[in-house]
Amino acid sequence: MPRSPRLTVVVPAYNEERRLEGSLTELAEWAAARPYAVEVLVVDDGSRDGTRALAERFAAGAPSFRVLALPENRGKGAAVRTGFAASTGELVLFSDADLSTPLHEIEKLEAALEAGAGVAIASRALPDSNLEIRQAWYRERMGKTFNAIVRRVTGLPIRDTQCGFKLFRGEDARALAT
């Protein structure tokens, strides 16, 4: 019986047909270069374009890739929970389909978990953040405003709650899915 992967990468996708193939290719190359086993779960959130078919074609040639499909669009949170529930890795990374956070940044998140953090969240709001894909100025402004409201309402010291690059211990991710 094959051993469980060290890392599961959950990629929620909704109408991502135009950019998904490039992201999956990058993920496959990155995963192949890891010194440990990596599982990739693409969760199609009821896309209306060819996202699911593209992901399934890609996964057919990549044994460590699986595609999970929601019958209708239920939102990013539902797609992430579906991926978390199906994950088998010791660690579970949630990454947006556009890979706007470089995959090598996982090393910083792993260090945070090793130092005792319960979850490690990448942030575009820190001074040393490396933004390879920038959002439009109005989306950045809306995001900053939303994050300020979240911090004020919840009291959480998280500067960028919406960054789509978060690392969890596997058992914690699976517990969140229930």
What pLDDT does residue 129 have?
A: 47
Phi, psi of 101 (to 5 degrees): -95, 125
pLDDT tens for 3-49 read: 689 999 999 999 999 999 999 999 999 999 999 999 999 999 999 99
Domain ranges of the chain: 7-122+163-176, 125-160
Question: Chain-centre distance of CA 17, in angstroms?
Answer: 17
pTM over 0.85: no
Residue 156 has pLDDT above 60, yes or no: no
Model confidence at 1, pLDDT cuts 50, 70, 90, reads very low
Mean pLDDT across 105-118: 91
Residue 86 has pLDDT above 90, yes or no: yes
The hierarchical CATH code for the domain 7-122+163-176 is 3.90.550.10
pLDDT tens for 133-153 read: 556 766 666 655 555 554 566
